[in-house]
Amino acid sequence: MAKILVTGGTGYIGSHTVLELDKAGYEVIIVDNLSNSNIKILTQLHAISGKWFEFVQMDLQDEHAVQQFAEENRDITGIIHFAASKAVGESVEKPLKYYKNNFYSLINLLVSFNNRMDFVFSSSCTVYGQPDHLPVTESAPVKKAESPYGNTKQIAEEILSETTAVNADLRVIALRYFNPVGAHETALIGELPNGVPANLIPFITQSAIGKRGPITVYGNDYETPDGSAIRDYIHVVDLAKAHVKALKRLEEKKADRNYEVFNIGTGKGTSVLEIIAAFEEVTGEKLDYKIGPRRAGDVMQVYGDVQKSNEELAWKAELDIKEMMRSAWEWEKYIKINPF
């Protein structure tokens, strides 16, 4: 049984991926510093899977700790690297926090494991900015980043591409996620935003449950069919499964080069107003929303061309917007009754 290190494994996408790795027969070891997640996730993962996953509380910025961890865990064959700071707005306020955390963590892992590894990296559709052509393919040009956070993803991709070019034993797949949303079907794990959510779906669920006031739709004057902005929302469980496929591709050495990039989305665009309508339809809850100005830094529309991941990763998104909204709502109700 191959042993896989999941960094950031108690976080939102990491926790869902731990379950998919377990289902696929992998042994999992989680490293997280709990800076943006809760130790109780381990109990939740146990409730779902019946397993207590090995957990090491460690800050990946700590070079010596990572070095020692790598020496003690020579049997790890693959790393899925989720651990990073991810709030776009905060990254503008505190750029060095983002550059330090996202780069130190990545570099410490690569150096400590001596560039011998199957490595799956969490990248983002943010690298495309507003693409010239839609759906956007992996070969579209990377646009100047709108935020230090986005810049960390672009530069991390470069670090990985350049490092693999001179290390035949390092094989990397960077997954460019579109907009991950939703929660596990058990409603025992989901997204746990810190403070007021900046992202649309957690704001919607928190507004519906009475934790927040009305939703502001950031702009209804875009050149889109209903005037609101369009994104490619992807269910977090589908996204988690893509990581297992990526790992398998690396293990089977199917790629002709040792650095590859894949879009992970549904390939379909959905507007903010369509999201609101879908949430209301699926949950029966009426949302209170108002139209506000556009949000600085937002693109008008982006959705991914997923042909490459469908064909080469043998992965396809299966869950639709309704299931994304239903599961996000079930999770919001669960966490209200069972706060961490």
Q: Which residues bind ligand NAD (CB under 6 A)?
A: 8, 10-14, 31-37, 59-61, 82-86, 101, 105, 122, 124, 177, 180
Known catalytic residue at 259: no
CB of 8 to ligand NAD, least distance (A): 3
Residue 84 binding result from ligand WQD, ligand NAD, none, given CB thresholds of 5 to 8 Å by partner type? ligand NAD
Min separation Cβ 254 and ligand WQD, Å: 26
Contact residues: ligand WQD, CB under 6 A? 86, 88, 124, 126, 179, 198-200, 203, 215-218, 229, 231, 272, 295, 298
Other C-beta atoms closer than 10 Å to the C-beta of 268 total 18
Q: Which does 13 bind (CB under 5 to 8 A by kind): ligand NAD, ligand WQD, none?
A: ligand NAD
What, of ligand WQD, ligand NAD, none, does residue 231 touch, CB below 5 to 8 Å by kind?
ligand WQD
As measured in angstroms, the least distance from the Cβ of 329 to ligand WQD is 16
161 is in the binding site of which of ligand WQD, ligand NAD, none (Cβ under 5 to 8 A by kind)? none
Dihedral class, residue 232 (left if φ above 0, else alpha if ψ from -120 to 50, else beta): beta
Quote the least distance from Cβ 69 to ligand NAD, whole Å.
Answer: 11
Tokens read off for 220: 């209804």
Task: Name the residue nearer to ligand WQD (CB basis): 107 or 198.
Answer: 198
Dihedral angle sign, alpha carbons of residues 193, 178, 145, 290: negative
Q: Which long-range contacts (CB under 8 A, 24 or more apart) does 283-290 make?
A: 283/208, 283/325, 283/326, 283/329, 285/208, 285/329, 287/204, 287/207, 287/208, 287/215, 288/207, 288/213, 288/214, 288/215, 289/207, 289/214, 289/215, 289/216, 289/217, 290/214, 290/215, 290/216, 290/217
Helix axes 272-283, 321-337, angle to 10 degrees: 60
Considering CB distances under 5 to 8 angstroms, the limit depending on partner class, which of ligand NAD, ligand WQD, none binds residue 295? ligand WQD
Cis? peptide before 293, omega within 30° of 0: no
Q: How many CB atoms lie within 10 A of CB 279?
A: 27
**Active-site residue among 12, 98, 128, 149?**
149
Report the residue number, 223 or 269, with the smaller CB distance to ligand NAD: 269
Nearer to ligand NAD, 171 or 243 (CB): 243
260 secondary structure, DSSP code: E
Q: Name the minimum Å distance from CB 65 to ligand WQD.
A: 26
Q: Which residues have a catalytic role annotated? A: 149
